[in-house]
Structure 1
C-alpha cells in the first residue's frame, strides 16, 4: 500500500512551513488565501488528508458527538437521526450512535464518552435521570450534554424539545370541539413516559373542560404490538356502553397498533366507534389505511438549535418550541 503523505511533505511541496499546512486545515485559523491555495494544491497532488487524531491531541477536540438512544422501536427516531447526523456532518462533526440498554446503561455510556473525549453528548429521547450524574464512577469534566426531543430538569443540561403543554392543549381543544367526552390515554413504558409530560398535560386539559375521568392504558413498550396488546386488554374487559370514545396515544406507533386491533379484532369503526390520536406524525400514519390524526414535532428547528449550541453559535440553554396539529380521518 502507498505510504500516507505527511504534513511535512506537503509543506516541502508547497514551500511553506509545517504549521502553515496545519493552519490550512484548521477551521478559523489565521492564514492568507494565497498560502491556503498553495497548501491545498500540494495536498491534492500528494493525496494528503490531515491526521484527525493528531489534531485532536493538539486542539483538545475530537469533532465527534455521541448520540445516546434507548428506544429503537419508534419509527419516528430514524428520520430524525438522519437529519441530525446530516446536520452534524455539515458542521464537520461525526455522530457516534450509542445504544443505551440493560448491558450498557447511561453511566457506562458517559464514562465511555469521557474516555473518548467526545466534544458533546446528545441524549435523544432517552430516559436520563439526574441522579445518574451523582454516580461515583463519574467525575467532573464530562462532555457537555444536550437533551433532544424530551424535557430536562437537570441543571446545566439544556433541553431542546417540542412544547408538550401547548401541544396537548391544542389536541384536547380539537377533540372537545369534535364532541368527544370520554377520553382515554395510552402511555408507553413508564421509565420513558414520565419525562415526556404528555399524559399529565392531557389529564389537566380534560379536567379544565369539566371531564374528570380519563381512562389510562399502559403499553409495556413503544411498539405497535404493545399498543395493540393494551387496547385488546381494555376492549375485552370493558362493555361497549362503558368504553371511551377517543384514545390519545403517547406516540404514533402505539396509535397504529391500537387502530389495527380496534378494527380487525373487534370490528369497531375509526373514528365513529373509537377515535384515535397519535404524536410525532410519522410517515406511515399518513397512509390511507390509517389517516392518523397526529401532532408533528418541529424536528428541523430542534436539530438546528442543538447543533448551534454544540458549535457555540447559540447560547446553550433550554429551548421549548411549538409543533403543529395534523388533523386526519382517525379523529
Structure 2
C-alpha cells in the first residue's frame, strides 16, 4: 500500500518550512500568495492532502459537529439535514449524525460526542431534558450546544427558530377571513425542553377573534400514520359540531389526516374540513393534496447556526420570519 505524502515532503519540494505548508491549508492563516502557490503546486504533484486528525491535536478543533436527531419518521428532517450538511461542508466542517433512541439516550450521545471531541452539538429533535446538562457524568467540558428549528428552554443553549408567533397570526388571520369558525389543532410528539409553541399561538389568536374553544388532539409522533390515527379517533367519536378547519403541527401529520378524512370518512377537503400544515414539505404541494402550509426559512436558519459555530455571530436565540403558502386545502 502506497504511503501518504507528508507535510515535510511537501515542504522540501516547495522549498518552504513545514509550518508554511500547514498555514497554506489552514483557513485564514497568514501566508503570502507566492508561498501558498508553491505549496499547492508541490502538494498536487505529490498527491498530498492534510491529515485532519493529526492537525486537530494541534488546533484543538476536529471540524466535527454532532447533530442529534430523535424523530426520523418526520420527512421534513431530510431537507434540513441536506442544507445543514451542505453548509457545514462548505466551511470545512463535517456533520456527525447521532440517532437518539431507546438504546442510546442523550446522556450517552453527549458522552459519545465529547469523547470524539466535536466542536459543537446541534439538537435537532423533539426531546431534550435540561437535567441532562447537569448529569454528573458529563463534567464541565461539554461542547457548545445549539437548538435548530425549535425553541429552547435550556439555559445557556441558544436556538435558531422560525417565528411561530408571526406564522400563526398569519395562518389564523387567513382562516378567519375564509369564514372558518370551529378550529382544531393536532400536535405532534410531546417535547421536553425544546418546543414549537404553535398550538399556544393558534389558541391565542383565535381567542382574540372571540373563539375560545379549540379542539385538540395529539399524535404520538410526527408521521403520516400518526396524523391519520389522530383524525380517525376524533371523527369516530364526534359527529355534532365537529371542526371545520384542522391545523396540524407539521405537514406529514396534515397529509395523513387529509387522506383519512377523504378516504375513510368520505369527506371533502376543504368543503367539510379544511387542512393547514407547517413546513412546506414538497409532497404537500402536489395536485393530490394542495396543502396550505407555512414555509420555514431553513437556509437562513442553518446559516445562523453555522455562523454561531464559527464564532461569527453571538450565541443567542434568533427568530426568523417564514412564508405563508396558500393552496386549495383551505
Could you tell me how far apart the structure 1 residues matched to 2:285 and 2:317 are?
31
Residue of structure 1 in register with 2:149 after alignment: 149
Residue of structure 1 in register with 2:77 after alignment: 77
How far apart are 1:174 and its partner, in Å?
0.9
How far apart are 1:27 and its partner, in Å?
1.4
Could you tell me how far apart the structure 2 residues matched to 1:166 and 1:269 are?
29
> 1:218 and 1:22, CA in 2 relative to 1: closer, same or farther beyond 3 A?
same
Instruction: State whether residues 276 and 291 of structure 2, in contact with CA within 8 Å, keep that contact through their aligned partners in structure 1.
Output: yes
Could you tell me how far apart the structure 2 residues matched to 1:56 and 1:193 are?
32
Residue of structure 1 in register with 2:271 after alignment: 272
How far apart are 1:17 and its partner, in Å?
1.4
Instruction: State whether residues 8 and 18 of structure 1, in contact with CA within 8 Å, keep that contact through their aligned partners in structure 2.
Output: yes
> 1:272 and 1:192, CA in 2 relative to 1: closer, same or farther beyond 3 A?
farther
Instruction: State whether residues 68 and 126 of structure 1, in contact with CA within 8 Å, keep that contact through their aligned partners in structure 2.
Output: no
**1:197-238 superposed Cα distances (whole Å, 9 cap, x missing partner):** 111111111111111111111112111111101111111111
Instruction: State whether residues 167 and 323 of structure 1, in contact with CA within 8 Å, keep that contact through their aligned partners in structure 2.
Output: yes
How far apart are 1:41 and its partner, in Å?
0.9
How far apart are 1:192 and its partner, in Å?
6.3
Q: SS in structure 1 opposite 2:184?
A: strand
Matched, 1:57 2:57: yes
How far apart are 1:317 and its partner, in Å?
1.1
Q: SS in structure 1 opposite 2:191?
A: helix
Could you tell me how far apart the structure 1 residues matched to 2:204 and 2:126 are?
24
Runs of 4+ with deviation above 6 angstroms? none
Residue of structure 1 in register with 2:197 after alignment: 197
Matched, 1:158 2:158: yes
Residue of structure 1 in register with 2:117 after alignment: 117
Could you tell me how far apart the structure 2 residues matched to 1:133 and 1:52 are?
29
> 1:193 and 1:76, CA in 2 relative to 1: closer, same or farther beyond 3 A?
farther
The TM-score with structure 1 as length reference comes to 0.97
How far apart are 1:191 and its partner, in Å?
3.3
How far apart are 1:35 and its partner, in Å?
1.2
Residue of structure 1 in register with 2:26 after alignment: 26
How far apart are 1:29 and its partner, in Å?
1.5
Could you tell me how far apart the structure 1 residues matched to 2:253 and 2:328 are?
17
How far apart are 1:153 and its partner, in Å?
2.0
Instruction: State whether residues 71 and 126 of structure 2, in contact with CA within 8 Å, keep that contact through their aligned partners in structure 1.
Output: yes
How far apart are 1:193 and its partner, in Å?
9.9
Task: Could you tell me which runs of 5 or more consecutive residues in structure 1 were left unpaired when the two chains were aligned.
Answer: none
Matched, 1:253 2:252: yes
Q: SS in structure 2 opposite 1:131?
A: helix
Could you tell me how far apart the structure 1 residues matched to 2:106 and 2:169 are?
32
Could you tell me how far apart the structure 1 residues matched to 2:166 and 2:23 are?
48
Tell me whether 68-77 or 276-285 shows the greater mean CA deviation. 68-77
Task: Could you tell me which runs of 5 or more consecutive residues in structure 2 were left unpaired when the two chains were aligned.
Answer: none
Instruction: State whether residues 187 and 193 of structure 1, in contact with CA within 8 Å, keep that contact through their aligned partners in structure 2.
Output: no
> 1:116 and 1:67, CA in 2 relative to 1: closer, same or farther beyond 3 A?
same
How far apart are 1:8 and its partner, in Å?
1.1
How far apart are 1:308 and its partner, in Å?
0.8
- Note the 1:1-331 alignment, pairs <5 A: 1-191=1-191, 195-239=195-239, 241-331=240-330
The TM-score with structure 2 as length reference comes to 0.97
Could you tell me how far apart the structure 2 residues matched to 1:278 and 1:194 are?
20
> 1:229 and 1:294, CA in 2 relative to 1: closer, same or farther beyond 3 A?
same
Q: SS in structure 1 opposite 2:146?
A: strand
How far apart are 1:194 and its partner, in Å?
6.8
> 1:282 and 1:318, CA in 2 relative to 1: closer, same or farther beyond 3 A?
same
